[in-house]
Amino acid sequence: MTTMQEIFQSLTIVERMLVFVFIAPLVGGFLSGCDRKLTARLQGRYGPPIRQPFFDVLKLLQKENIVVNKFQNFNIVLFFIFTVFAGALFFAGANILLMIFSLTLSGTFFVLAGYSVGSPFSHLGAEREIIQIVSYEPMIILLAAGMYMATGSFDVAAIAMHKKPLFIALPGVLAGFLYILTIKFRKSPFDLSMCHHAHQEIVRGLTTEFSGPALALIEISHWYENVLLLGIVYLFFAFKPWLALVLTLGIYVLEIVIDNNYARFKWQLTFLSSWLFIAAAAGSNIIVLHWIK
């Protein structure tokens, strides 16, 4: 049961970071492949092979580098670096607040990438991306607050080693986090800023002007981010590692089901519903936690 925790503890911080940097894209790509397969089955299609996301990215990397201005890809590189850094911090067991800083920074670079190209579609996508960030930002902070209140530490390592089941102390925080997880996974009903299918009203939103290698980098960053997010879900059940792993995958499947069952929300609804739901679920949870202490 505890072998996973033992392996984790036997590694140094740098080793943990390196493991994340090399393993996460493989896991992320694989999960993405499963996602596409499952989605296809839900829609009555056969679907691509599970390896398909890797082929896609490899092909994108070989494409010509087409840009509208020569600086646009720099922001994407920065977005990639700080997403990976955030994930590495998390899996190294570092302070969860620092992970949030790094993630916010990477998110900002992604938005700036959208703005920097100057296309109206991209601009609109970037703005919707900010609205998405603003929608989930309170939840991310309350997540850190809740975990600190329940375990007495901001360190991911300490939270992961916490002996009591976190989801019992933090049901509202978990609910709120699952709500915004859909935004972070860029899944319907919250895939406002860009969606995986180029058929929405704003073409391909933020990524309209990004192609080839830059698009591949965005995709890889997305894989890293997904693994990081599932890592956070894992923390809620970390008292029993194998159960946690199963439940985390279960929640990923749930997100795919949600993705396939909802039409896209308007940004107003996304924004308001997230803020209200976060306040009702996570906010009340934190206040209750303070009182019963």
Partner 1 sequence: MAMLIFLVVFPLVIAVLAAVLPVAFHKIRKIIGVIAAMVMSIIPIYLLVTYLDAGPAYFKLENPLIDICMLVVELFIAGLVVYISIRAKRYLPVLLVTVQSAIMFSFELTSGRGIQIEHSLFVDKFSIIMALIIGIIGSIICLYAIGYMTEYHEHYKELKNRRRSFFFMMYTFLAAMFGLVFSNNLLWVFFFWEITSILSPLLIGYRDDTPSIEALFRTLNMNLIGGVAFALGIVFLYSSSHVMELDKMLHLNKSYVLIPAVCIAFAGLEKSAQFPFSSWLTAAMVAPTPVSALLHSSTMVKAGVYIILRVAPALVNTVAANMLMLVGGITFLVTALIAISQSNAKKVLAYSTISNLGLIVACAGVNNDTALWSALLLIIFHAVSKPLLFLCVGIVQYKFDSIDIEDMDYLIMRLPKLTAAMVIGMAGMFLAPFGMIIAKFGTLIAFIDKNPGMAIILAYGTAATVYFWTKWMGKVMTIKYGVTQYDEHLVSRWEKFSLALLAIATVAVSLAFPFISSRLVDPYVQTVFGKFPVIGTFNELIIFVMLVSLLIILPLGLVYYSYINKDYVRVGLYLGGANVDDIHFEGAMDQKQTADLKNYYLTKYFGEDVLVNIGVIISLTLIFIMFGVSVL
Residue 236: strand, helix, or coil = helix
Place of tokens 């700080």: 82
Whose CA is closest to 28, among 1, 56, 7? 56
CA angle 5, 177, 19 (to 5 degrees): 35
Contacts to partner 1 from residues 69-108, by CB under 8 A? 69-74, 77-78, 81, 85, 89, 94-95, 97-98, 101-102, 104-105, 108
195's torsion region: left (phi>0), alpha (psi -120 to 50) or beta?
A: beta
> Which of 17, 24, 31, 111 is the binder for partner 1 (CB under 8 A)?
111
Does residue 265 belong to the site contacting partner 1 (CB under 8 A)? no
φ and ψ of 119, to 5 deg: -90, 140
Contacts to partner 1 from residues 131-170, by CB under 8 A? 131, 133-135, 137-139, 141-142, 144-145, 148-149, 154
User: Would you tell me how many other CB atoms lie within 10 Å of the CB of residue 265?
Assistant: 17
> Which of 20, 79, 90, 115 is the binder for partner 1 (CB under 8 A)?
115
Q: Please, are residues 241 and 8 in contact by the beta-carbon 8 Å criterion?
A: no
Least spacing, CB of residue 55 vs partner 1, in Å: 23
Place of tokens 């102390």: 169
Residue with Cβ nearer partner 1 (85 or 224) = 85
Least spacing, CB of residue 278 vs partner 1, in Å: 8
Q: What are the tokens at 19?
A: 């493991």
Which region among 48-56, 112-120, 181-189, 240-248 touches partner 1 (by CB under 8 A)? Answer: 112-120
30-47 CB burial, b ≥16 within 10 A, e <16:
ebbbbbbbbbeeeeeeeb
Which region among 32-40, 115-123, 162-170, 252-260 touches partner 1 (by CB under 8 A)? Answer: 115-123
Residue 203: strand, helix, or coil = strand
| N- to C-terminal Cα separation, the chain | 30
Total residues in contact with partner 1, by rule CB under 8 A: 65
Residue with Cβ nearer partner 1 (7 or 134) = 134
Q: What are the tokens at 286?
A: 């934190």
Least spacing, CB of residue 83 vs partner 1, in Å: 13
Contacts to partner 1 from residues 191-250, by CB under 8 A? 203, 208-209
Site for partner 1, rule CB under 8 A: 64-74, 77-78, 81, 85, 89, 94-95, 97-98, 101-102, 104-105, 108, 111-112, 114-121, 123-124, 126-127, 130-131, 133-135, 137-139, 141-142, 144-145, 148-149, 154, 203, 208-209, 272, 275, 279, 283, 286-287, 289-290
